Amino acid sequence: MGNIISVHSFRGGTGKSNTTANIGCSLAILGYRVGIVDTDIQSPGIHVLFGLESEDTEHALNDYLWGRCDITDVARDVSHLLTSHNQPDKGSIFLIPSSLKTSEITRVLREGYDVGLLNDGFQQLLQGLDLDFLMIDTHPGLNEETLLSITVSDALVLILRPDRQDFQGTAVTVDVARQLDVPKMVLVANKVPAVFNKDSLKQQIESTYSVPVAGVLPVCEEMFQLGSSDIFCLRYPDHPYSLVIRSIVQHLLD
């Protein structure tokens, strides 16, 4: 049975989906079978990074949650992105997107869904796709879905920016994760300006939360230029950002 890794942030705009996609692809490059689930059903978007449009997906996670299909029917094999960027064709990566249709999003907001089905779906994906890792791109903040994702995770990656609001919100999430006995928890500082001393920031964060910092990701112009049109570490494998992503992956594997 594979491992579940949840990637979470207390606030939106931290770059959580980008980080999830880059960690997932970096694991696949190493030869692992990786699934990525977009459980940010209210504001989905990670599919854009993998070049998918809403009309490209026959099924979405919403269809599984409302009993229209099996969750494995939602999975899209996007492993071709590895070879298209001249990366070793060792592992595989599957994307389980949420629907971008307005009617589907408003139904979620109006009616909700059975959160308990998510855990069943996670286990079916691990078994049905023979995954080594299942990554969960969560909805920001703390709600029922997020708590479930944290509870069933083997590892939790918390993303924060060097911002006082992020620091306070992350403290709440760390406390909740400890109460839920998450086996492994790491922090990742993202969108860190070049003027910051990264070593000092790392020490400050670790001292504040008593949680290891797996990486400090810099602000980079190339990320803005890419505009969510590709996976950064595949497009720029030797960029300092990509090197930090690989160090985060190694931290998770350790």
DSSP 160-176: E-SSHHHHHHHHHHHHH
So what CATH class is 3-253?
alpha beta
pLDDT of 86 reads 67
User: Could you give the residue ranges of the DSSP H alpha helices within 164-220?
Assistant: 164-179, 198-209
First vs last Cα of the chain: how many Å apart? 18
pLDDT of 87 reads 64
Q: What CA–CA distance (Å, rounded) separates 222 from 210?
A: 32
Question: Phi and psi at residue 189, in whole multiples of 5°?
Answer: -85, 130
pLDDT of 12 reads 87
pTM assigned to the model: 0.93
The count of other CB atoms within 10 Å of the CB of residue 107 is 16
Nearest CA to 180 out of 130, 219, 227, 144 is that of: 144
Q: Report, as ranges of residue numbers, the positions in the chain whose pLDDT lies below 70.
A: 54-57, 85-89
DSSP 35: E
pLDDT of 16 reads 92
Strand runs labelled E in the chain: 3-8, 33-38, 76-77, 92-96, 133-137, 155-160, 185-192, 213-218
pLDDT of 233 reads 93
**Residues 189-218: tens digit of each pLDDT:** 999 999 999 999 999 999 999 999 999 999
pLDDT of 56 reads 61
Instruction: Record the tokens describing residue 110, joined without a space.
Output: 């109006």
118-141: burial string, b at 16+ Cβ within 10 Å, e else: beebbeebbeebebbbbbbbbbbe
Q: Transcribe 104-124 into DSSP letters.
A: HHHHHHHH---THHHHHHHHH
**Residues 73-99: tens digit of each pLDDT:** 999 999 988 887 666 667 999 999 988
Instruction: Record the tokens describing residue 7, joined without a space.
Output: 């990637």
Q: What CA–CA distance (Å, rounded) separates 115 from 146?
A: 10
pLDDT of 88 reads 63
Contacts of 112 (CB under 8 A, 6+ apart): none
pLDDT of 64 reads 92
